[in-house]
Structure 1
């Protein structure tokens, strides 16, 4: 399939790097920090209990579905208060967690593929998560990073896709959204009027009969190959 692509928006977690090992390390780093600075909290709320509480707070606060940072901070406030530790430690505790959250290990193809894509069209990061591309070191490849927390609504809400297109100065039909999540990225992007590319690294089955991604690849490198193979791009927005 060939169609014009003047810009690309990209999901981050599980598209550029796997998120599960990142979260395991971040939760362990937070637990280690609490054991040194708030031992009563660490004793009462080990990793599994902290995770369960964070999930409960997320379920109880649907108004914060777009804001993982605030969900995590509320969790920390709760556990410190319940354990009798100083609630003023929230900022430092979150910083310990977030530093590890931004220590990602890219999929083997990601960095080289992103450089190739960025050489063809403008890239924008579009994520429901709170990873910081500046800390991670990928920001030079992107025009901007738009997170659900910053925008106020999360994917698959059309408004976050359209806000990214507006900042790019490109019509949605000429923007390709790339991601791993079937509902958040592919269905959400398509309903907002963008072209879509499903990064299906695990060979999952596509579940929808009436809607399909415009492109499907197992790696970002394959997407870069698709662009390099002479498919139509327009760098006027670059």
Structure 2
């Protein structure tokens, strides 16, 4: 555990989810592969490739730049855009989108949360209020983490995604604790660390790849704390 900044007293913690509380590698890719199979089951889309899907996703983003704040809306709009290029009746679009999104979300939640994460959150929750601030679409209750957190905020649904201020401000308001006493823990230097610092939070960077923080291109400012594994937060108890 490395300390780079002086810190106020920690009175609450907020957490990112993906690659912070569990290993998210290949989870989204697998979910997209399975969703693609669902889309390919329709004759009009049976030749659809993942590269074509991702290209369409980029096209949707270019036409609606703010859509990236809500990954669920972005994904459903991408599917709708693909359907618009087929002869599938418009009245069937909702069913196709719902089926595809249901498939994606099923596989999106097929990750293993380490027992060590459960143990750490159990300990932390006895001393601090805990909450989630995520840019993704994982439901903490579906992965067995819901009982540890007072609430979970998601980009798009609860304001613009990290590093924008709304979602951080809402977390502080819901906790009824000043941002200067809330430690946000995350693996992304831009969305988590820069977002936390710029919005008055304390920041803990989980450096999962153990790179030299001074050599990482995304470093805009130093966090208060740097760790390489989640269990180091046990030192806060």
- Please, which of 172, 186, 199 is the counterpart of residue 193 of structure 2? 186
Gap runs ≥5 in structure 1: 229-238
My pick for the range that moved more, 120-129 or 25-34, is 25-34
More helix by share: 1
State TM-score, norm by structure 2. 0.87
Q: Distance in 2 between matches of 1:77 and 1:119?
A: 45
Match of 2:43 among 5, 29, 39: 39
2:22 paired residue number: 17
Report if aligned partners of 2:61, 2:68 keep a CA contact under 8 Å in 1.
Answer: yes
| Aligned structure 1 segments of 4 or more residues deviating by more than 6 angstroms | none
Which residue does the alignment assign to 2:169? 162
Matched position secondary structure for 2:133: strand
C-alpha deviation, 1:213, in angstroms: 0.9
After TM superposition, the score normalised by the length of structure 1 is: 0.87
Deviation, 1:141, is 0.8
Gaps of 5+ in 2: none
**Aligned equivalent of 1:68:** 71
Task: Assess if the C-alpha contact under 8 Å between 1:130 and 1:149 holds in 2.
Answer: no
Q: What's the C-alpha RMSD, in Å, of the aligned pairs?
A: 2.0
User: Is contact 1:5-1:174 (8 Å) kept?
Assistant: yes
Secondary structure of 2:137's aligned partner: coil
Contact 1:126–1:146 (Cα < 8 Å) also in 2? yes
The answer to whether the 8 Å contact 1:114/1:220 transfers is no
Residues 157 and 83 from structure 1, CA distance in 2 versus in 1: closer, same or farther, beyond 3 angstroms? same
The Cα of 1:32 is off from its aligned counterpart by 2.2
User: Which segment drifts farther, 8-17 or 164-173?
Assistant: 8-17
